[in-house]
Amino acid sequence: MMTTRIRALALMGLTFPTLAMGGCDLGAPRLETRTFRVENIRAEEAARMVEPYVYAERQEGSGGLISVVQGAITVRETSDNLAQIERVLAEFDVPRADIRLHFQLIEADGFTGSDPSIADVEEELRKLFRFQGYRLAGEATVVAADYANVDQLIRAGDASYSLTAHVSRVGPGATRLESVRLVGRNVQLGTSVNVREGQTVVLGSSPQADGTATLFLTVRALGPADRD
């Protein structure tokens, strides 16, 4: 009887550590690597979008990874998480509507009447500045793809102004204009701004060298209501 118990305990002592080691191996997830091509959003944006589904803080050797190249991301994760990432990209990597922006050059002072073509912004200008009057000097509508450069010529009477900017979407109905520059006769201004669809923003102003007037540059992000 005593001999049988000793043998049973000895067997348990030999097999228990082996089961514990096997438990560690079984706990490590099996990871796969897959490359996803993106066509309508930047790869960096796609990587940020799927980052919540990539778990880098697992035990050593089993952490998820993302790498980015132009036009694609490569992800190392479990098959379930890869399937979720595929669904996320299928939802958001879709063609986006072009960005449409309407720029206006508004001349201030030297006249007292109201110009109906700038009625939506004249009231705000009068709240901010103390000029006698405002009138439209020139305007242009530009259509640009997301994350693209704008290069547009705006004519105002016998003068021409070069307008350049970098545009990108920063959320639903919101556009980011960076490095906006207007260069022309006696005028040079630059700025960056966010603008929502349907909103008009004053980008800046520049007094004319001859002192006759001050030019304001405004932009309106055209939304669905503006396209009807």
Q: What is the pLDDT of residues 39-48, one digit of tens each?
A: 988 899 899 9
Residue 157 structure tokens: 């009477």
Residue 121 structure tokens: 């912004």
Rounded CA gap, 182 and 198, in Å?
Answer: 22
Rounded CA gap, 216 and 105, in Å?
Answer: 6
pLDDT for residue 196: 94
pLDDT for residue 21: 40
Q: What is the mean pLDDT of each run of 10 residues along the chain (228 residues)?
A: 43 40 59 93 91 84 87 95 95 87 90 84 87 92 91 91 91 89 82 92 82 86 76
Residue type, 97: A
pLDDT for residue 15: 40
Contacts of 176 (CB under 8 A, 6+ apart): 167, 168, 169, 170, 192, 193, 194
Question: Is residue 136 a contact partner of residue 104, using CB atoms and an 8 Å limit?
Answer: yes
DSSP 53: G
pLDDT for residue 109: 81
Question: Which domains can be identified in the chain, with CATH numbers?
Answer: 17-92 (3.30.1370.120), 99-227 (no CATH)
pLDDT for residue 212: 67
pLDDT for residue 27: 66
Residue 28 structure tokens: 């490590």
The C-alpha angle 106, 110, 115, rounded to 5 degrees, equals 45
pLDDT for residue 86: 96
pLDDT for residue 75: 96
pLDDT for residue 7: 45
Q: How far is CA 74 from CA 66, 182, 183, in A?
A: 6, 41, 43
Q: How far is CA 95 from CA 39, 41, 55, 78, 90, in A?
A: 8, 8, 29, 28, 11
pTM above 0.75, yes or no: no
DSSP-assigned states of every residue in 64-131: -EEEEETTEEEEEE-HHHHHHHHHHHHHHSS--PPEEEEEEEEEESS--S--GGGHHHHHHHHHH---
- Nearest C-alpha neighbor of 105 from the set 59, 48, 153, 73: 153
